[in-house]
Amino acid sequence: MPDARCPNKPNPPRVASCMRWTRGHRSGNIIDMRGSRFGGGGFGRMGMGAGGTLVLLVLSLLFGRNLLDGGGADQVMTDQSGGTVAVTPEEDTLTQFVGFVLDDAQNTWQRIFESRGRQYDPAQLVLFRDAVNSGCGAAQSAMGPFYCPSDQRLYIDLGFYQELARRFGAPGDFAQAYVLAHEVGHHVQTLLGTAQQVRSLQQSRPNQANDLSVRMELQADCYAGIWAHSTGQRQLLEQNDIDEGLQAAAAVGDDRIQRQSGGFVNPESFTHGTSAQRAEWFRRGYQSGMPQDCDTFSR
């Protein structure tokens, strides 16, 4: 049963904190596709974001089937129905929560952009179950949350949050918020042109592709920390909320996931950064609140 004071946490909560947010919030930037079903094989691998290949790999091992071998991004799933979907009260509360986080994070970035004379174009968040078509190709929920630069949308199957808590040991509402804020960070990188520059460098310097990917992911972690800094200034956080965010960042570190998979830790294969790196860059953003302190490419 959820805690009445903290509906996104188990009862009793593992940490004595709740992020303060507005219940009943309905975001105009959410596209709900949970009532759609998709047929057809395979899914694309572009724009996987924080979940990406690493989550896919560990879930392949957990579920005993190869989720990585799903085909290329040119394979398309067909929307077989556009019906409504039954939503439990708990899931409805979670939908309100992610909508609040999405809007609050993007409002924060809008203020930052405007203070620098730039325009911020908000991303939309697509909620789906099991599978979805994106501008980057077809995707399955096993990929985890991801951002697609082609259509500038975030995608999430809310069931991922159960995996985050149970499989990766990162429960709590602020851990959930961190995941979303990280993907918003990828949208910021697209608006600033960082994502395009990185993709160009990866193509021209394939031997540096993984290192560039790590730096880009760590910057998105730092950008998530910048939003956390803003929430702290507005007293939306309680004790241990930041610890939840740090725990979530560390939970999806390359080294930790490789250890969980029972394999060897291979730094050359890292694409997202170690647990220590991810937590450290989130902390930097939180402590600074300044985008210029998130330059992971010159360090």
User: In this predicted model, what pLDDT tens digit does every residue of 125-140 receive, in sequence order?
Assistant: 999 999 999 999 998 8
Which residues are 137's β-sheet partners?
134
- In this prediction, residue 236 carries a pLDDT of 79
Tokens 């939840």 belong to residue: 244
Mean pLDDT of the chain: 75
For residue 52, pLDDT over 60 is answered with: no
Q: One-letter amino acid identity for 200?
A: S
Position 151 confidence tier, pLDDT thresholds 50, 70, 90: very high
CA distance 177 to 170: 11
For residue 281, pLDDT over 70 is answered with: yes
How many residues does the structure list for the chain?
299
For residue 186, pLDDT over 90 is answered with: yes
For residue 14, count CB atoms less than 10 angstroms from its CB and return exposed for 0-12, middle for 13-18, buried for 19 or more: middle
CB burial string 97-115: b at 16+ within 10 A, e below: bbbbbbbbbbebbeebbee
Position 263 confidence tier, pLDDT thresholds 50, 70, 90: low
Question: Of 47-56, 131-140, 282-291, which range is least confident?
Answer: 47-56
The answer to whether residues 7 and 93 touch, using CB atoms and an 8 Å cutoff, is yes
Between 193 and 64, residue with greater pLDDT:
193
Question: Of 127-141, 195-209, 242-256, which range is least confident?
Answer: 242-256
- In this prediction, residue 272 carries a pLDDT of 63
Report the range out of 37-51, 193-207, 251-265 with the highest average pLDDT.
193-207
Question: Of 95-104, 252-261, 270-279, which range is least confident?
Answer: 252-261
For residue 246, pLDDT over 80 is answered with: no
The answer to whether residues 137 and 46 touch, using CB atoms and an 8 Å cutoff, is yes
Position 14 confidence tier, pLDDT thresholds 50, 70, 90: very low
User: Mean per-residue pLDDT for 179-186?
Assistant: 94
Q: One-letter amino acid identity for 52?
A: G
For residue 81, pLDDT over 50 is answered with: no
Between 21 and 257, residue with greater pLDDT:
21
Between 144 and 182, residue with greater pLDDT:
182
Proportion of the chain above pLDDT 90, given as a percent: 39
